[in-house]
Amino acid sequence: MAAVRYELIKECSQTKARVGRLHTPHGTFETPIFMPVGTQGTVKTMTPEEVRDLGAGIILSNTYHLYLRPGSDLVREAGGLHRFMNWPHGILTDSGGYQVFSLGPLRKITEEGVEFKSHIDGSKHFFTPEKSIQIQMDLGADIIMAFDECPPHPSEYDYVKKSLEMTTRWAKRCQAAHTREDQALFGITQGGMYADLRRESAARLVELDFPGYAIGGLSVGEPKPLMYEMLEATVPELPKEKARYLMGVGSPDALLEGVARGVDMFDCVLPTRVARNGLAFTTHGKVVIRNARYARDFERLDPECGCYTCQNYSRAYLRHLYKAEEILVYRLLTIHNLHILLKMMKEARKAIEEDRFLQFKREFLDKYGQEMDHS
């Protein structure tokens, strides 16, 4: 039996949404699922127990960041990332591709791999598909990702076409380099904002028979409708019996639209990053907690929310902590934002199971669209 296996449970009759189970060596997780991001081996501000209590079963961590600091050899010596960070549940590591490419002028791409400079100390490094896989085997996540090129948006058709061909060749090299049987290696489809290239990339990777497929190169600055169009081009090319993972998406609306288009897994720094900037997702839209209107607002952040933050603190107190730059507020808003997203995904799963997902999505987004705060 494969280390990681996707099991399809139920399909929506009106959309491509589906409920499934992702079986991994560190637990079985219901999909569609949102994976909080723990870039440097910690979901920022949170203990692992808190992340788990919010309902997260699997988190994402970053190959690029952990390779540079503390070093993947050190994590291996520590017994792997699960043990190092005290998280006995699922972990997915990205390949470092996205971080390496988003460094821009600091990198140089060849067929062999990518030379880049560390954002920490400027030191030079060279990532190849083989090197990315070696690092990810050292880290020991349950799901690891192929090393891909993620073209910026916008990119010319010809560039994207050549890029996806190289990404396909790299995907094969990743497969050849991957030897750990307790991990699954997922492929990453690319294709920029060109539907035919999206289809082509998916078809080429499906030929390589990965146990799961990511949709990469989206949520890179394009308008959301264009992202949905690209999803619609990609997902139908992917096999039903494998998990589908949309990388870098975490706003409530994009999550539900992704689910509607057949995506099973998502990750994004958005809910945790905006929390540290004082922005809360609520059932009625966004709340910017620093705003003066909340100074004497002794109501809870989101009256319909049952999270720890909303059960115990007023907007006025949260605003006070934010203005005073108190660490507690970063925790409290992170708890809230993760709770909102993880609960939304749970409700989405239930709605799919009960074949009322389209109605659930419409109601959720209608409410969420009535934003309390547009700043």
Q: Please identify every residue annotated as catalytic.
A: 94, 267
Phi-psi region of 219 (alpha: psi -120 to 50; beta: other; left: phi over 0): left
CB of 205 to a copy of itself, least distance (A): 33
Nearer to a copy of itself, 14 or 86 (CB): 86
Determine if residue 121 is labeled as part of a ligand binding site.
no
Q: Count Cβ atoms within 10 A of the Cβ of residue 314 and give its class: 0-12 exposed, 13-18 middle, 19 or more buried.
A: middle
Instruction: Give the nearest distance from C-beta 157 to a copy of itself in angstroms.
Output: 40
DSSP codes, 56-118: --EEEE-HHHHHHTT-HHHHHHTT-HHHHHT--SEEEE--SHHHHHHTGGG-EE-SS-EEEE-
Identify which of residues 247 and 321 has a Cβ nearer to a copy of itself in the complex. Answer: 321
Least Cβ distance, residue 78 to a copy of itself (angstroms): 6
User: Least distance in Å: CB of 39 to a copy of itself?
Assistant: 9
Nearer to a copy of itself, 20 or 41 (CB): 41
9 φ, ψ to 5°? Answer: -105, -45
Indicate the SS3 state at residue 15: coil
Alpha-carbon Rg for the chain in angstroms:
20
- 55 vs 70, which CB is nearer to a copy of itself? 70
H-assigned helices in the chain: 48-53, 63-68, 72-77, 81-85, 97-102, 129-139, 157-177, 195-207, 224-234, 252-260, 270-276, 308-312, 315-323, 327-353, 357-369
Question: Is 314 an interacting residue with respect to a copy of itself (CB under 8 A)?
Answer: yes
Q: Which stretch, 16-24, 71-79, 156-164, 219-227, contacts a copy of itself (CB under 8 A)?
A: 71-79
Cβ 74 to a copy of itself, closest distance in Å?
6
Please select the residue that binds a copy of itself; options are 54, 58, 85, 230, rule is CB under 8 A.
85
Give, as ranges, the residues between 98 and 117 that touch a copy of itself (CB under 8 A).
Answer: none
Q: Is residue 42 close enough to count as binding a copy of itself by CB under 8 A?
A: yes
Stretch 342-371 residues interacting with a copy of itself (CB under 8 A): none
Identified binder of a copy of itself from the candidate list 16, 44, 180, 350, rule CB under 8 A = 44
Neighbours of 115 (CB within 10 A): 15
Q: Regarding beta strands 279-282 and 285-288, do their DSSP bridges make them parallel or antiparallel, or are they unpaired?
A: antiparallel
Q: Kindly list the distances between the CA atom of residue 144 and the CA atoms of 24, 187, 351, in Å, as whole numbers in the listed order.
A: 12, 9, 30
Least distance (Å) between residue 328 CB and a copy of itself: 5
Residue for token pair 């460094």: 103
Q: Side chain identity at 259, as an amino acid letter?
A: V
The rounded Cα 193 to chain-centroid distance in angstroms is 20
- Please tell me whether residue 298 binds a copy of itself under the rule CB under 8 A: yes
Q: Is residue 77 a contact point for a copy of itself (CB under 8 A)? A: yes
Q: Binding a copy of itself by CB under 8 A: which of 160, 321, 340, 342?
A: 321
Does the protein bind a copy of itself through residue 327 (CB under 8 A)?
A: yes
Task: Let me know: does 135 contact 62? Beta carbons within 8 Å.
Answer: no
- Residue list, annotated binding site: 94-98, 148, 190, 217, 305, 307, 310, 336
Return residues touching a copy of itself (CB under 8 A).
40-42, 44-47, 69-70, 74, 77-79, 84-86, 295-296, 298, 308, 312-314, 316-317, 319-321, 323-324, 326-328, 330-331
- Residue list, annotated binding site for Zn(2+): 305, 307, 310, 336
